[in-house]
Structure 1
Amino acid sequence: MGKIIAFTNQKGGVGKTTSVANIGAGLARAGHRVLLLDLDPQANLTKGLGVMDAEQNVYGALLGEYALRAYTLRDNLALVAGSPALSGFEKVKGNDLDREFLLKDLLAPVRERFDYVLLDCPPALGLITLNAYACADMLFIPLEAQLYAADGLEKVLDLVTRVQRRVNPALTIGGIFFTRFDGRKVLRRETAEQLRAQYPGLILQQAVRESIALSEAPHLGQDIFAYAPGSAGAADYQTLLEEILTR
């Protein structure tokens, strides 16, 4: 049965979607069967991996309009497309008795077909994120080492605690990792050290450096390993992936 890993942060623009795309691609390159789910209404993961105008998406599947459909991207890698309509999910399903388990039920029949299922959560702690936490085995939190970075982090950790207590006792936090990291900037280094001291054992060693290639790859519908395999971004995500697999 595939391991479900959620990538989450209440704050947007922290490299969450980039991380899902490239960690997923790295796992697939290593021979693992990987399914990516785009749960963000912005659908940037879907667009950034070159899937345009998908006829079926995760929103329609969650509403029971059709079965879950995965679009094949390459060997060992498939994507369930996102949709802007996800922004209305809470309004449509917020009163359902089983509202926090809709995604878990949807994924149950397909988990055996994959080794890893990666969830790209929206930058909000609403019903979609709750569904992701309810079905995930583990979650990782991408974070920029900058002022106020810990504010949103505390809210994520609080929600995780409540989910563990009431909805998904098996959920664990795999770790927190820094993205868009520039070690030349004193403030970034100091913030990183403060967070390591504040959350001992949770901060991963590998950070993802600021990289032009990481920004360029989605515009061509590619992951960093296909677009620029010799880049710093590819090296960082490969090392990060290896660390994640040890958690």
Structure 2
Amino acid sequence: MSKILAFTNQKGGVGKTTSTANVGAGLARAGQRVLLVDLDPQANLTKGLGLSDAEQNVYGALLGEYPLKAYSLHKNLALVAGSSALSGFEKVKGDELDREFLLKDLLEPLRDRCDFILLDCPPALGLVTLNAYACAQALYIPLEAQLYATDGLEKVLDLVGRVQRRLNPDMKVGGVFFTRHDKRKVLRRDTAEQLRVQYPDLVLDTVIRESIALGEAPHLGKDIFSYAPQSAGAADYQALVAEILTR
């Protein structure tokens, strides 16, 4: 039975998609069977991994138009494509009974066929995100160590508490990790240390350093291990994968 991990943050631009792609690729390289699910209406995970012509996507599957389709990317790695139409998911399904469990029901038949399912969540804490939280065993929260960094984190943690009480008591926060990190910058270093003190059980040891290669890889439809396996970004995500596997 696969473990479902959701990469989430209320704040956009913090590396959710980059982390979903590269943790997924790293797990696949470690021999794990991995399914990525693009739940962000921007569909950047889908585009950034080179799948630009998918005829079937997660939105159509959630609406029951066709079965869930996973597109193979590499050995042990497959992707359920995203869609811009996800932005209207709440309007279409908002009044439906058990609307928070549509994704869970959709993924259930696939859970025996893979070891990990990774969900790339949208920045908005709406119905799509609730569906992700309702089926995830663990949330991983990428965070930039800068001013107001705790705002998005506190909103996620507040929602986590409510979801645990009402929808998914088994869900936990797997960890918080810093992205685009540069310890030479005083503000980022100080903010990181402050958050480690404030949330000692949540902040992971691994940090993802600022890396040009991490920004370049999606433009070529590649993960960091395929694009620049000797880069700092590859080393950091390899370390993050190893840390996730021990939690």
Normalised by the size of structure 1, how large is the TM-score?
0.99
Instruction: Report the AA paired with residue 31 of structure 1.
Output: G
1:6 aligns with 2:1: no
- The structural deviation recorded for 1:53 is 2.0
TM-superposition CA deviations, 1:180-228 (whole Å, max 9, x none): 0001101000000111111111000110000000000000000000100
Amino acid at match of 2:27: L
Aligned match of 1:127 = 127
> Is 1:209 paired with 2:209?
yes
1:78-227 aligned within 5 A: 78-227=78-227
Q: Give distance in 2, aligned partners of 1:245 and 1:12.
A: 26
CA shift for structure 1 position 9: 0.2
Q: How far apart in 2 are the matches of 1:201 and 1:17?
A: 24
Mapped to 2, the partners of 1:243 and 1:30 lie a distance apart of 13
User: Following superposition of structure 1 onto structure 2, how do residues 38-57 of structure 1 map, counting pairs within 5 Å?
Assistant: 38-57=38-57
Report the 3-state secondary structure (helix = DSSP H, G, I; strand = E; otherwise coil) of the residue aligned with 1:113: coil
Q: Where do 1:58-69 residues align within 5 Å?
A: 58-69=58-69
Report deviation, 1:84.
0.1
Residue 246 (structure 1) aligns with: 246
Alignment match, 1:31: 31
Post-superposition Cα deviations, 1:146-168, rounded to whole Å, max 9, x if no partner, equal 00010111110000000000100
Counterpart Cα distance in 2 of 1:147 and 1:243: 26
Q: In structure 2, what residue type is equivalent to 1:39?
A: L
- The amino acid that maps onto 2:163 is V
RMSD of Structure 2 on Structure 1 (CA) = 0.5
Paired amino acid for 1:27: L
Could you list the per-position Cα deviations for residues 32-68 of structure 1 after superposition, in whole angstroms to 9, with x for gaps in the alignment? 1000000000000000000012100000000000000
Q: What is the count of residue pairs matched by the alignment? A: 247
What CA distance in whole angstroms lies between the structure 2 residues aligned with 1:220 and 1:69?
Answer: 23
- Distance in 2 separating the partners of 1:237 and 1:226: 13
In the TM superposition, 1:71-82 aligns within 5 A as: 71-82=71-82
Q: Which runs of 5+ in 1 are unaligned?
A: none
Percent identity over paired residues: 79
Greater than 4 Å deviation, 4+ residue runs: none
**What's the CA shift for 1:244?**
1.0
Distance 2:51 2:96 in 1: 31
For the residues of structure 2 that align with 1:133 and 1:246, how far apart are their CA atoms? Answer: 21
Aligned mates of 2:138, 2:201 — CA distance in 1: 15
> Which residue identity does 1:13 align to in structure 2?
G
Distance in 1 of aligned mates of 2:225 and 2:109:
30
Measure the CA separation in 2 of the matches of 1:27 and 1:195.
27
Paired residue type of 1:213 = A
Q: Could you state the TM-score of these two structures normalised by the residue count of structure 2?
A: 0.99
Between the aligned partners of 2:213 and 2:104, the Cα distance in structure 1 is 35
- AA paired with 1:91? K
* 1:234 correspondence with 2:219: no
Query: Aligned AA for 1:94?
Result: G
